[in-house]
Every structure is written in structure tokens, then in C-alpha cells.
Amino acid sequence: MVETSGSVERPALKNDRYLRALLRQPVDVTPVWMMRQAGRYLPEYKATRAVAGDFMSLCKDADLACEVTLQPLRRFPLDAAILFSDILTIPDAMGLGLYFETGEGPRFKNPITCKADVDRIGVPDPEGELQYVMNAVRTIRRELKGEVPLIGFSGSPWTLATYMVEGGGSKAFTKIKKMAFAEPQILHALLAKLADSVTSYLNAQIAAGAQSVMIFDTWGGVLSPRDYKEFSLQYMHRIVDGLTRENEGRKVPVTLFTKNGGMWLEAIAATGCDGVGLDWTIDIAEAKARIGDKVALQGNMDPSMLYAQPARIEQEVAHILAGFGEGSGHVFNLGHGIHLDVPPEHAGVFVEAVHRLSAQYHK
């Protein structure tokens, strides 16, 4: 069967477990994918990245971005593909000048320091400055040939703002907290622009073929409960309200992931998202008891568990599956990105164990 969307012919989805689980519809086994599943733990990724040169050149070449997106799917029976890109594409498109210092992570040439800097930036056009991302989405969707769904993503406004104000990664977040507490109106103006940018960026990814979207709030967990609601959750809620929730005749589920957000699960679920991502610092049984009647859960094995021997990895998978228990509504994942020095075979053990050990919970 062939579904048509505009002028693009699209084959029907062969494996839709991931989408079904996010909507808490019955599945045969628990779907699984891994945050950062395309990356430096795979030798084939390193080879393609060497061809591209630097990381952003890899993101900007639709064919190479597609190639690295598909690499983990050739090795492991994963239930979803995730767009190969980065959360920092939006600030880069806003003119902040993203670059990567070897061994030091992302940096910006022109960080945000004052009101004039915020006034200067605009909402990027997803089919303009960010068209390379949409081209990657279209290419990947075509090359997936309906095997598994494609996940699009963005950073949360708060997480993007941390990089934009700190000028790169941070441990103490002093600059952005100073702005939040000393000049909150400047930060709110920035967060509002970011929320508009993320909404149009994700809607464009959906229009280009993303079948689900995820918002990474990597740094929401460094805030106090009240500040989390004011500076992070409020803006994710605004984005959820503005997203296209149905396309090509199917629901487009949205997942919110706040690292270290276990204290605030009820508030996250109340945004109207379909799935809530969990890191490993919360027991999935507790998370299910608290919000499992409202949303699906994604997670939540400690990524460092992939350093363990296969038997230990399988034992951990079994614990987490038992914690979630019977029925649909669980997308298995790591609680954060896979580490770059994990043996790829251990990732294979993990994925296979999720499928094999979860069948008993879906009778």
C-alpha cells in the first residue's frame, strides 16, 4: 500500500511499535531505540564523519546525515530512526556562530549577553537558514522506505538558552542564572523567541516527514522546582500547544525529556505531551504509578550499564521491564545518550534483550 502526502509517495510503515507505544496502543514487544544511537561509538560513523570533515558539515550534507542516521539501524533491530542533527542548529541559524572545539564540546562566537543581543536575533525560517535540516529529514524519510518511523527533535528553549548565554557547555550555569534572577525580562524575551523558533522548526520537520518529535531539555534539572516551571516547562508547554499533532492520517506523538526531571513528572505530563522521557535516577515503576495513566514513558537504563558484561545488561533490562510491567506505554531507551567508548556489540545485546524479554508483558 502506498500513502500519498502532497506530491511525495510514501510507503506504509512496516514497524509502527514505537508510535503505538507512545499512544499506549497494544504492541507485540516493547519498542527500543537509543539516544545518540548514531555517533562515535560506531566505527562506520567515524568513517563517514571523516569524509564530511567537521560535525556541522556532516549535519549539512543531507546524504551523509542520512547515511549516519541509518548506520545503527543496519546493525541493530531498532524500532525508530532519529534525525541526525543537533539541538544547536537553531542558535547557529540565529547568527551565534556555532563551532566545536576538539574535546571541549560546542561553543558560540557571539553569545547572548544583554537585551540588545536578544533584540537582534530573529526566528529562523525552517525552509531558509535551516533548510539543510528539512532536506535531511526528507532524504532520511525516503531512504527509510517505511521500515521504522523517523523521530525529529529540538532542544528546549531553556536548554538552548543555556548554551547561548554561557557561550557553550557549562557546569555551574552562572551566567544564565544571573540573567534569570537579575534580569528575568531579558531571559523571558529570549525564551519566547526560542519557543516560537522551536515550534516552527518542529512543525517544519513534521511537514518534511518526521513521524514523531522529541524535545531535549538536558538542563531543566539544574533549576529549582519553581524556576523550572517559570523558565523551562512553561515554554515547552507553549510548544506542545503549537505543534501539528496529526499528519499523513496518523497522530504525531510528542515526547518531552527533562534530564533530572523526576521530581516534576506530573507537571510535565500535564503539558499534554504523549510521552515523558526518564533518566535513570527514577524508578520506572514509580513513574508509571504517578503518570502512567496519562502518558507513555521512555527510558530508562543508565547508559553506563552498556559497559557491563552481556548478562548484567540483560538483568538490568529485565528489571526495568518488570518495573513497567504489563501492557503498552513503554518505549525502552537509555536514560541519556550512549557513551562514545561503549562496545557496539553491547548495544546489540541491549536491543535484542528488550525485544526478547518484553514479549511476556504484551500477551
Residues tagged active-site: 36, 40, 49, 86, 163
37 is in an annotated binding site: yes
Consult the annotation and say whether 39 binds a ligand.
Answer: yes
Of residues 99 and 100, the one with the C-beta less far from ligand CP3: 100
Does the annotation flag 348 for ligand binding? no
Minimum distance from residue 363 beta carbon to ligand CP3 (Å): 32
Residue nearest ligand CP3 (C-beta atom): 218
Instruction: Give residues with Cβ within 8 angstroms of 358, minimum separation 6.
Output: 29, 30, 321, 332
For ligand CP3, give the closer residue by CB, 300 or 328: 300
Q: Is 283 flagged in the annotation as binding?
A: no
Residue pair 141/10 in contact by the 8 Å Cβ criterion: yes
CB of 101 to ligand CP3, least distance (A): 8
DSSP 122: -
136-166: burial string, b at 16+ Cβ within 10 Å, e else? bbbbbbebbebbbbbbbbbbbbbbbbbbbbb
Which element (helix H / strand E) includes 320? helix 310-324
CB of 36 to ligand CP3, least distance (A): 4
- Is 188 labelled a binding residue? no
Give me the residues that bind ligand CP3 (CB under 6 A), please: 35-40, 49, 55, 82, 84, 86-88, 100, 105-106, 153, 169, 216, 218, 337
Alpha-carbon distance 62 to 138, whole Å?
Answer: 9
Spatial neighbors of 249 by CB under 8 A, at least 6 apart, are: 3
- Nearer to ligand CP3 among residue 58 and residue 357 (C-beta): 58
Is the CB of 42 or the CB of 180 nearer to ligand CP3?
A: 42
User: What's the closest the beta carbon of residue 87 comes to ligand CP3, in angstroms?
Assistant: 4
Which among 281, 322, 318, 331 is positioned nearest to 302, based on CA atoms?
A: 281
Rounded Cα distance, 64 and 51, in Å: 9
Residue numbers belonging to the annotated binding site for substrate: 36-40, 86, 163, 218, 336
